[in-house]
Amino acid sequence: MPSSGLAIQPRFLPELDPKFVPASLWNRAFRALARQRGALPYVLALERSDGSISRFETIVLPEGAPEFELNFRYIERILKFLLWQRGGWKVYAGGPPRIGEHLRAVYSPSGARAFDYEFMSGVYERPFTVEIVRPEEVPAARETSSPLGRHLDGCRVGFDLGASDRKASAVIDGQVVYSEEVPWDPRPQSDPQYHYDGIMDSIRRAAAHLPRLDAVGGSAAGVYINNRVRVASLFRGVPKDVFDAKVADLFLRIRDELGVPLEVVNDGEVTALAGSMSLNDNPVLGIAMGSSLAAGYADAHGNITGWLNELAFAPIDYREDAPVDEWSGDAGCGVQYFSQVGANRIATQAGVPFDPSMPLPERLVEIQKRMQQGDPLVRRVYETIGTELGYAVGHYADFYELKHILVLGRVTTGPGGDVMIEQARRVLAEEFPELAGRVQIALPDEKSRRVGQSIAAASLPVIPKKA
């Protein structure tokens, strides 16, 4: 399969998405070519506002190689992944200056990755910068980690805010006494009162099943620092001035009104926490396939890392005409494959009939209904997603220490989720045998697939001991 100057031959072809070019195989082919040409070292480091640094070492084609410009695509896609996996406001680009200059041009206010430039500048409150250095000048890694959640005492509410529904659970001393899902449509809403009313409604409905309310924990897509909203897709419709005035401190306001401890973190972190708690083993990469793709990572000690883990924006498909994410404007990123957006995309191009006015959540319900009825075309939709997931896991292994991958979220509901995971395991076993023996891909039980994040979220806050 030729792509961007390299020929790769996947053992598996995603039947309903046949132009898919696995990033894992493309990168493998690139590095093999680089070694043939006399590879040079290339080192990337990403610095965050707390001074922590992530480092990634690889190789590139040397100056004079006829395929030298392949370096631009290879390193740019690696940096793109690292930015959304680990985050950073400053990039040290250690290697041939032409590659660094390409990165600087692409990740600029006027470059192809202007969205990434603005996002990282906003999250870390510093202008995004690419500094071109020699490999030996790239700073050493300086990673941090901290424990998250696992507090099960008392009467708690946990919530998870998705783009199509809100989930909430009531938990007493670690036992779930109530869980529910309520549809909502937050992204186009310009008035944050809509969001406030919906969040408070879910908390109060769950709290009604408790003798008292001791603490509230929540998860949502986006970046949250000290319970303040920094960037979140749920509030995309809110004008910036209104966001700054009424959204940034929304959860602090809710905490004060409830009068109990409240903690809100990225939904991916809670996905990883849910996996770590249910498996009682680490490390865990949690992937939630819902309205978008959420991810989180618990390291070998069960701690979170301070990384972004926003794999919705991390590229996994290197085809030239890969599907484009409508928010970031980039192509081939995880959200277009492992979410209800991806399920709809693949089902639609395969010919699964939908009423044109049917929204994505209802289309996913229709896909799941057809799967329950044994529709062979819909089964192939799940097999296609599973094939792409297997190749994505091979790619993720270049960036994470992997042992357990827990997959949950609305897309995994029903028998289609089992078909998807079995296909991903098949790809892993035959294409990446060195990983298959040590990496387990699993689904939680059916109930946990839908509400597991809100239950884990309930464990986030610490309830102060009474004097």
Q: Are residues 69 and 88 in the same domain?
A: yes
Q: Are residues 166 and 79 in the same domain?
A: no
Looking at residue 259, its amino acid is: G
When pLDDT is averaged across residues 399-418 and rounded to a whole number, the result is 94
Based on the structure, what is the number of domains in the chain? Answer: 2
Domain boundary among 95, 119, 137: 137
Q: Using alpha carbons, list the distances in angstroms from residue 232 to 37, 229, 285, 310, 415.
A: 44, 7, 21, 11, 31
Q: How far apart are CA 79 and CA 352, in angstroms?
A: 36
The residue with tokens 């031959």 is: 9
Q: Which domain does 271 fall in, by range?
A: 146-467
The residue that leads in pLDDT, 272 or 12, is 12
Q: Are residues 369 and 398 in the same domain?
A: yes
Q: Are residues 383 and 451 in the same domain?
A: yes
Q: Are residues 110 and 163 in the same domain?
A: no
Contact 126, 90 (CB under 8 A): yes
Q: Are residues 439 and 376 in the same domain?
A: yes
Domain boundary among 119, 137, 155: 137
**Is residue 408 a part of any domain in this protein?**
yes
Q: Are residues 54 and 164 in the same domain?
A: no
Angle at 194 between CA 191 and CA 196, to 5 degrees: 110
Q: Are residues 83 and 151 in the same domain?
A: no
Q: Using alpha carbons, list the distances in angstroms from residue 344 to 4, 307, 361.
A: 27, 29, 9
When pLDDT is averaged across residues 95-110 and rounded to a whole number, the result is 98
Got the DSSP string for 235-246?
A: GTTS-HHHIIII
**Is residue 16 a part of any domain in this protein?**
no
When pLDDT is averaged across residues 20-39 and rounded to a whole number, the result is 98
* Burial of 185 per CB tally in 10 Å (0-12, 13-18, 19+): middle
pLDDT exceeds 80 at position 467? no
pLDDT exceeds 70 at position 332? yes
Q: How far apart are CA 31 and CA 27, in angstroms?
A: 6
Domain boundary among 101, 118, 137: 137
**Is residue 3 a part of any domain in this protein?**
no
pLDDT tens readout for residues 226-262: 899 988 889 999 999 999 999 999 999 999 999 999 9
Coil, strand or helix at 28: helix
Both tokens of 35, joined, read 């070694």
**Is residue 99 a part of any domain in this protein?**
yes
* Burial of 352 per CB tally in 10 Å (0-12, 13-18, 19+): buried
Give the global pTM. Answer: 0.88
Both tokens of 153, joined, read 């005492």
Q: Indicate the length of the chain as a whole number.
A: 467
Both tokens of 457, joined, read 């979220």
Coil, strand or helix at 228: strand
pLDDT tens readout for residues 282-326: 999 999 898 899 899 999 999 988 899 999 999 999 999 999 998
Q: How far apart are CA 381 and CA 107, in angstroms?
A: 35
**Is residue 21 a part of any domain in this protein?**
no
Q: Are residues 126 and 153 in the same domain?
A: no
In the structure, what pLDDT confidence band is assigned to residue 2 with cuts at 50, 70 and 90? very low
pLDDT exceeds 70 at position 3? no
Q: What is the mean pLDDT of the chain?
A: 93
CATH number of the domain residue 320 falls in: 3.30.420.40
pLDDT exceeds 80 at position 5? no
Q: How far apart are CA 283 and CA 162, in angstroms?
A: 25
What order of strands is seen across the sheet that includes strand 175-183? 175-183, 165-172, 155-161, 215-220, 262-266
The answer to whether the bond into 147 is cis (omega within 30° of 0) is no
**Is residue 239 a part of any domain in this protein?**
yes
Q: How far apart are CA 263 and CA 252, in angstroms?
A: 9
**Is residue 7 a part of any domain in this protein?**
no
Q: How far apart are CA 467 and CA 409, in angstroms?
A: 41
Both tokens of 307, joined, read 């990384």
Contact 399, 81 (CB under 8 A): yes
**Is residue 301 a part of any domain in this protein?**
yes
Closest CA to 383 of 14, 9, 19, 25: 14
Closest CA to 444 of 291, 275, 268: 275
Q: Are residues 131 and 150 in the same domain?
A: no
Q: Are residues 235 and 377 in the same domain?
A: yes
Q: Are residues 109 and 199 in the same domain?
A: no
Q: How far apart are CA 362 and CA 267, in angstroms?
A: 22
